[in-house]
Chain A
Amino acid sequence: MKLIIAIIKPFKLEEVKTALSEIGVEGMTVTEVKGFGRQKGHTEIYRGSEYTVDFLPKVKIEVVVPTEITAKVIDAITKSAKTGKIGDGKIFVLSVEEAVRIRTEERGAAAI
């Protein structure tokens, strides 16, 4: 099993969710985050005070999937989240040791 973390631009969330659903990935966890990479922030000016805001709003999606479909998931996310401009985001893949479905107490592949 793999944990796939994707940091994407917030307005792309619906598209990514649809793309994942089309390849059979129905569940996910979504968090609102702030971050930056190469994308520059912006300046806010309030009367005489100027503030540079480096952190930009992003959305983090976390899905745990069977190892066999990892490449399909990365592909789906990449195609749906890409705009071609700086700040599109990143995808990370981690190994998962154990998964449990709380309601039925199933473990392993049956849990995801």
Chain B
Amino acid sequence: MNFVHGIDFANCPLHIMNHLFLKSSRALALGLALCVSSLGLFAQTEAPPASAAAAAPAAAPAAAAAAPTTDQRIAALEAYVNNGDPGKSLTGVAGPGHNAWMMTSAALVLFMTLPGLALFYGGLVRRKNVLSVLAQCLGIAGLVTILWWAFGYSLVFGKNFNSGLFGGSEYFFLKGVDSAPNTDYAYWVSQNVFSMYQMMFAIITPALIVGAIAERMKFTAIMAFVTIWMFVVYFPLAHMVWGVNGLMNGVWNANATIKAIDFAGGTVVHMSSGWSALILCLLVGPRLGFGKEKMAPHSMVLCMVGTGMLWVGWYGFNAGSAVAADGIAANAFTTTTIATAVAAFVWGLIELIFRKHASILGFCSGAVAGLVVITPACGFVNTNGAVIIGILAAVVPYIFVTKVKAMFGYDDALDTFGVHAVGGTLGALVTGILAVTSVNGNLNTNLKDVVGHTLWLEQLKAIGLTLVLAVVATVIIAYIVKAVVGLRPTAEVERQGLDINEHGEEGYVD
């Protein structure tokens, strides 16, 4: 007699044995399914185990279909080089060159924030507040990473909400996001790499805002503001412009309500942060002593070092937005270089002519302005367009940061509005005028009749929507944060400096 689990199988009638066996195996399957699906929230899976267990002895693996033919395999390799659909072979696997470029680009964009922006802004504030800027950049990097992992990536690049405004929940906690490409966005880049790359954009966008309210906003208030702002402004805006079913994704969404284009984030990154920055700086109010006391940059050396890092990192930001190491990326790389260099030179030239000195801050501001304005355009315009953009990028922001700011007297401490809002808006508009299909054939997919005709109008609509969203949301969020946490430190803390009071450290100990 064989005893198994106390059941006498040898003497059990067969039908009872079958009944027991089926019951226990079904129970086992059910238990397994329950366990696994509850873990599903945190699962970093290659295959979905829940469905495998629940389906029990389903049909034989469907993947035992016919192996790809030699022609199909060659086509797949050619598709790798051309950044196209691999078809029957090489599916679910990233292409090394494209993936390597995107990993590099992600690192470059992070480099833009840490330490590029940190030093650029850090050098421009007074000595007693240098660490506050660094802390804000570091804090935002950590905070946004957590938000992105939990909800952000899914809300921007998911699609199960079937909405042009918000993506979906399918990728919450990066579930299912592994090294296989998400073909909604790229054939040859790992989805986890794509997610990390996009996360760097999500990090730097709120970090730009801190420039406008530098030296006079509480660290906790900034963290609270950014948390809400990401959900109300950034995630929906990024989905609208870059989500596969986003209502402003003119290039890839045939049903887009607004057929606008934005290669690397003129609206998503610069307009959103820039206009929000303006509203926030008006609501927070000017620094104590603004207009009377000297508030010169404490280190133009750090500022310039930061600028160089921003420029180099921006290649990841702009050329990486091709999400491939292809000809479009090459074009973006080129136009970015030309527009930035032209803008830096022209800004210096304007200062030389009108102010007798070409200043370091002038060159740096020109370079950053050039980078901002070329951002939405880089993958859509040619080098002639880049030169035009470079000149405009120096002239228009220059007028805003010198004349307009002086006229209205707002304390946009580090000129986030003057450079990013103005530059982003200008860039979005100019993209609509200078974009050509010869540079980017993807414009022919859904925008053949729009490019060169009514694209500028679509861009205007996108600009309008972005502006309204950023402004209205910032007003509401600012008042909420003010009520719960308070926006400004006490006058004494502000006078002594934020570093020693909010962070317990000094930037330079002599």
**B296-A47 in contact (CB<8A):** no
Interface: B401 (CB within 8 A): yes
> Which listed residue (B355, B405, B415) contacts A45, Cβ 8 A?
B355
Total contacting residues, chain A, CB less than 8 A: 8
CB-CB contacts below 8 Å: A18-73 with B:
44-49, 51, 53
**A51-B294 in contact (CB<8A):** yes
**B296-A46 in contact (CB<8A):** yes
**A48-B402 in contact (CB<8A):** yes
Docked Cα-Cα span, A48 to B418, in Å, equals 11
> Which listed residue (B294, B357, B415) contacts A47, Cβ 8 A?
B415
CB-CB contacts below 8 Å: B370-384 with A:
none
**B365-A47 in contact (CB<8A):** yes
- With a cutoff of 8 Å between Cβ atoms, the chain B residues found around residue A47 in the complex are 361-362, 365, 401-402, 415, 418
> Which listed residue (A44, A48, A51, A53) contacts B405, Cβ 8 A?
A48
B342 to chain A, nearest CB (A): 19
- With a cutoff of 8 Å between Cβ atoms, the chain B residues found around residue A49 in the complex are 295-296
- With a cutoff of 8 Å between Cβ atoms, the chain A residues found around residue B297 in the complex are 46
A51-B294, A51-B296 known; A45 vs B406 contact (CB < 8 Å): no
Docked Cα-Cα span, A44 to B357, in Å, equals 10
Q: Which residue of B lies closest to A53 (CB)?
A: B294
Docked Cα-Cα span, A64 to B276, in Å, equals 62
- With a cutoff of 8 Å between Cβ atoms, the chain B residues found around residue A53 in the complex are 294
B393 to chain A, nearest CB (A): 15
Interface centre among A45, A51, A53 (most CB of B within 10 A): A45
- With a cutoff of 8 Å between Cβ atoms, the chain B residues found around residue A48 in the complex are 401-403, 405-406, 415
Docked Cα-Cα span, A46 to B355, in Å, equals 11
- With a cutoff of 8 Å between Cβ atoms, the chain A residues found around residue B415 in the complex are 47-48
Interface: B227 (CB within 8 A): no
Interface: B359 (CB within 8 A): yes
**A46-B405 in contact (CB<8A):** no
Interface centre among A46, A47, A49 (most CB of B within 10 A): A47
Docked Cα-Cα span, A47 to B405, in Å, equals 10
Docked Cα-Cα span, A48 to B294, in Å, equals 13
Docked Cα-Cα span, A44 to B405, in Å, equals 18
- With a cutoff of 8 Å between Cβ atoms, the chain A residues found around residue B359 in the complex are 45-46
Interface centre among A45, A46, A53 (most CB of B within 10 A): A46
B386 to chain A, nearest CB (A): 24
B445 to chain A, nearest CB (A): 42
Q: Interface on A for B, CB 8 Å cutoff?
A: 44-49, 51, 53
21 contacts between A and B (CB under 8 A): A44-B296, A45-B355, A45-B359, A46-B296, A46-B297, A46-B359, A47-B362, A47-B365, A47-B402, A47-B415, A47-B418, A48-B401, A48-B403, A48-B405, A48-B406, A48-B415, A49-B295, A49-B296, A51-B294, A51-B296, A53-B294
Q: Interface on B for A, CB 8 Å cutoff?
A: 294-297, 355, 357, 359, 361-362, 365, 401-403, 405-406, 415, 418
Q: A47-B365, A51-B296 are in contact. List 17 more A-B contacts (CB 8 A).
A: A44-B296, A45-B355, A45-B357, A45-B359, A46-B297, A47-B361, A47-B362, A47-B401, A47-B402, A47-B415, A47-B418, A48-B402, A48-B403, A48-B405, A48-B406, A48-B415, A49-B295
